[in-house]
Every structure is written in C-alpha cells, then in structure tokens.
Structure 1
C-alpha cells in the first residue's frame, strides 16, 4: 500500500512538473493567450507518459533497463550534438545571439532523436546481450540459457510451473502472441471443457508473468497454424519448445528444433517396473479386454490387470508381466499374484 501511494505521488508530481514546462514553453515560444493550449498539451503528454509507464511496469527487467540505459545514452549523445547546433545555425546565417529560439528548438529535437535511437537500439539488441541493473554487462547468452517457448498445451498442462519453482527450468520463458490468442479463443469457446482448459492456461500464464518468469513475444498469427508459427519463431531465436503435444514434438525433431515433451519427462521420472516385480494396485474400473481391470500406481502409471475384473474396488497384489510405451505415457500389464503357480 505504501509503495502504491508513493507511486501515485511521484506520478502526480511529474504531471505538475510537465504543466510547469508547458507554461515555460508558452512564455518562451507562444503568445500570452496561448498559455492554456501549452498547459493542456504538456499535461496530455505527461498523462501519456504515465499510462505508458503503468503498462510497462510488468515488463522484464532487461527490457526496462534497456530503456533506462537507452535514455542515458541518448542524453549523452545529444549533449555532444548540441555543441554543433550553434555552428550549423551560424553557417546558414542565423544569429543565435539575437534570437535563441531556433537553437533551443534544435536542441530539443536533437535530444528527442538521440533518446529515441538510444532506446530503440538497446531494445533491439538486449535479447542478444545482457543488460543488468545496477551495472551493464554486455555478453552473449550461453547456450544452456537459451529461451524456452511454451505452446498452448504446456500452459494448459501446468507442470511447467512446478519445474520453474523447483529450479529445473531456469531460463527465460517466452509465449508467442499466437499462443496467447489461441488460449483466448479456447476460453471463449462454447464447449465447456475447452473453455475451462483455455482459462486454466491463461491463469497459469498470468501467474508466470506476475512473477516475471514469462513474457509474451510478438509473432505472426495464422489461424490453424500456431504450431508452424511456434516452430519458425523457435528456429529464429535459437531456443527450444516445451509442449505435451506429441505431434508438435515430432514435427520439431524433423525440422531440427529442440523440443521437450513434458509427458516424456514425467514418464522418465516414474519408477521403473520390471517384469516379475510385485506391487499393490487399487483396481478402479473395468478394462477394454474381457475380464480385465484397470488401476494406477502411485505415480499415475496405468496398470492393466488380467483377470482383474473381479477385484474392482479392492487393493490386490499383482505381478508385472510387461510394459509398453505410448505417446500418452507408459502402460504396465500385470496379473494377480495369486494366479502364479
């Protein structure tokens, strides 16, 4: 609360300062009857600046520092060029001693241009070089810190948040705008399941952005071709994709793009069940085959129990007979241990 009050106070003071600058400009450059126009114009500019500051306050630290150092660079360059403005005016026959207004105008224009180019230069390059506060460190990103691009399925899945919290994924997380628009489309769907999935993905993205762990990056939007946009953007940035979509993962590998499938990661972290091993399983429902029952290991692995239909609703000891891997994960086959002769 105290921080918010301080921010509002600083913003209000900034608007008052801009109003004073407007009155000063009216006194120097305008007629007395134009004071109101100058005042309103300066206040309008101040309000625009405050609005821009509010919308960029959630930006990434490197982006904000790029703006700050870009402005400083622009001010330094403008102070150098302003020394030349007087010589330029003198060369075209303008006597700045009699009328200083042309020189002031050129100085203002020079400062604005230098600040603009300073900020845009660092914004264009801060992705390739690190810019840190309170000092500037220019060096290329190392390969193990390449950005990870999240697709729609990864945001809906939600496990990426746990990986970030555990420190397993500690690189920049980027979400292309095409993915954001696809989440919005899902959240506005008439289908209840799709609507819930879309809203869950948007809520996760908002949490990651609030913690400054993810940022939205511009991307072209071609309806129905989000995967192609994601693959192209990843190739341009030299990053890697996080997804649960097996089709996208296969396309990425064919195109030489590094893809991490969260389902494969989770499958690799599960306990390995070897044939002949005995485990206890809660048989929850009937299987697809005759007399089959289906249960799950504590890590979520599906277990298909032969002749387990009679044990539905009970915990039984089973002996593992084999496992298979599918695009959705690993399936374990077993039979009741009491059947073994």
Structure 2
C-alpha cells in the first residue's frame, strides 16, 4: 500500500470518528429516547451511516467521473421537478379516493419513477449524441494540429520520454483520465509485477509533465459500461485523435478506423538503413540454424546472420550485407563473412600441393 492509499484511509477513519462524535453530541443535547444507552447506540449508528454514505458518494464520483456525476445530479433535479409537477396535477383529482398514508406513498413512488427515468434518459442521450463534446470544445480552445492519445502500454515504455523530449510530440499528447485511473489501480495491486508496471507508468507521467515544451494535456472525458480499449477508441473518434501504443497486438488501424501509432514500428522505422554490400563489424555470439552460420546483434538489437561465422564464436569479424528481411518483430540482416576472415591459414609448404581448392558455400537469401 503506497503513501497516498494510507493517507486516504487515515482521512476516512478520522471523518468517521468525527461523524460519530457529532452524532453523539446531537443525541445528547436532543435525546430521542429516555434511555442513555439507546441514545448512544443511535448516535454511533447514525454517525457511521452518515459517514459511509458520504464516503460511498466520494468513491462513486471517482469511479464514474465528473461527467457521469453531473448527469446523475441533473437527473435527480429534473426528475424531482417532473414528479412534483405531476403530483400537483394528480393530487386534486385523487385526493378524495386516498388516505393520507396512501397519498404519501404514491407521491414518493412518483418521485422515484420520475428521477429514475430522468437519469436514464440523460445517460442514454449523452451516450447517443456524445454530449461530452462540450469538454472537447473546451480542450480545443487552443489550436492544436493533431491529438494523440496515450494508452497504458505506451506509458509503461520508457522510450516515450526520449520521443517526447525530441519535440516531435509537442502540443499533441493527451492522457485520458480513465487510463490514469487504471494505472493508479495497477500501482495499488498486491502482485509485485503489476505494481511495478503501474508505478513505472506513473513515474513516466511525472517526467513527461516536467518537459516544458511538450504541453501534456489530460482529458476528463469518459464513457460508461465499456472496457478501457473501447473507451480509448471512442475518445479518439470524438477528438479526431490518433492512439499511441506499445502493444504489439494492436495493428496500425483499429476496427473503427482510428489511426494507431505503434512505438515498436516507429522504432524499427528509425533504425539506420543497411544497404546490400555494406561492411559491418559484428561480434558472433552463437551458432545459427544452418551449418557454418553464426549469429550476432547490432547495438540496436537487430539480428545479424553471418554465413561462415560459426568458426568465430566470441570474436568480432567483418561481414558484407547480402540482404535485409523485415519481420513483425524487427529486421534481420543476412551477411557473408569477408574473404579476409575466411582466408586459408598458413600451412607448411609440403602440404600445399595436397590442398583441394573448393568454392565457398554461401547461402542464398
């Protein structure tokens, strides 16, 4: 449990104790029963109930977001107004046929039904016509050329810091509030691996916020009753934005035609180009799949397969590029070891006549 979670627990515990104390003071000065024990019990239970209700409202507000809370509040106000209006019309017509208790029950039922339908109608309207565009207009009050939403996987990849510092993403990046909530929940997990990922992402966000020219923005727009990936796609559609991800499973375009920028593809595209015939200095680290093949790696992690390199495991040799193969996970470079490396070693003169000169067996790519 991190320090923020501990402070939340302490604040809530203090609030509950304060609520109980206020309730006890009230029932002491305004006793509801002749028995002090009953009054004390009522004060404790009443204080706890009030604190639980308020804490529940706080949790609900954090979970559903500001927009959902505002819609629910507007639904309560509108439903109450509609219920009171209907009751004003119906009461004179039905008052002769109802007792006082029946009238109270009917009015309460009418108010509840009106509030329920008002809230449901507002949420349905917001989902259908995307009333969250009010937030979009506010966020677009400053002229931005293009919006780029960051998903969780991109925020867990430290390469985004260097990418942001380059200036290419200035005034573009947006972190959705629901992505930030997911990362905070991940950082609070019991599983150490999940916790480490969440904390890494939160630290990366702090570093991004310190880049002065980046102008990192946060979006409070949210959508209810759907998973995070669908929320991200809907937000991208609403803001006409692209999505920056480090998830290899996400293609260059989502099902709803939202453009995807994959950091792995971007990294591969920025690697230096290797031309056929170019000479590379490569350290052979292991054997290849075919006979006489050796495998090494460039500094950027690109795999290099060298024909004739099996004889030089652990050594640096020169090799000439034959071809470059592009795969989903990156590039593979195929080379031939240089003739200097494969030159016949010095032998005694009396053995030279017995040597059979054979052509080099290079593979074809």
Question: Which segments of 5 or more consecutive residues in structure 1 lack a partner in the other structure?
Answer: 176-182, 184-197, 221-228
Please state whether the residue corresponding to 1:331 is helix, strand or coil: strand
Q: 2:233·2:258 contact (CA, 8 Å) conserved in 1?
A: yes
Alignment partners' CA distance in 1, 2:51 and 2:121: 21
Shift of residue 337, structure 1, vs aligned partner? 4.0
**CA RMSD in angstroms, aligned pairs only:** 6.1
Counterparts of 1:125-140 in structure 2, within 5 Å, are 125=126, 129-130=132-133, 137=138
Shift of residue 294, structure 1, vs aligned partner? 0.9
Correspondent of 1:8 among 12, 16, 41: 12
Counterparts of 1:153-232 in structure 2, within 5 Å, are 158-159=156-157, 162-163=159-160, 166-167=163-164, 170=174, 172=176, 200=193, 203-204=196-197, 208=201
Alignment partners' CA distance in 1, 2:260 and 2:117: 38
Q: 1:73·1:115 contact (CA, 8 Å) conserved in 2?
A: no
Q: 1:296·1:302 contact (CA, 8 Å) conserved in 2?
A: yes
CA 1:258–1:65 in 2, change beyond 3 Å: closer, same or farther? Answer: same
Alignment partners' CA distance in 1, 2:126 and 2:44: 37
Q: Give the TM-score of the pair, scaled to structure 1.
A: 0.55
CA 1:204–1:266 in 2, change beyond 3 Å: closer, same or farther? Answer: same
Please state whether the residue corresponding to 2:174 is helix, strand or coil: coil
Alignment partners' CA distance in 2, 1:71 and 1:255: 29
Please state whether the residue corresponding to 1:288 is helix, strand or coil: coil
Alignment partners' CA distance in 1, 2:123 and 2:151: 22
Q: Give the TM-score of the pair, scaled to structure 2.
A: 0.52
Alignment partners' CA distance in 2, 1:15 and 1:119: 33
Question: Which segments of 5 or more consecutive residues in structure 2 lack a partner in the other structure?
Answer: 180-185, 206-217, 344-365
Please state whether the residue corresponding to 1:170 is helix, strand or coil: strand
Pairs aligned (count): 287
Alignment partners' CA distance in 1, 2:34 and 2:318: 95
Alignment partners' CA distance in 2, 1:107 and 1:122: 23
**1:50 corresponds to:** 55
CA 1:235–1:7 in 2, change beyond 3 Å: closer, same or farther? Answer: closer
CA 1:71–1:303 in 2, change beyond 3 Å: closer, same or farther? Answer: same
Q: 1:148·1:241 contact (CA, 8 Å) conserved in 2?
A: yes
Farther off after superposition, 269-278 or 288-297: 269-278
Alignment partners' CA distance in 1, 2:266 and 2:294: 27
Please state whether the residue corresponding to 1:295 is helix, strand or coil: strand
Greater C-alpha radius of gyration? 2
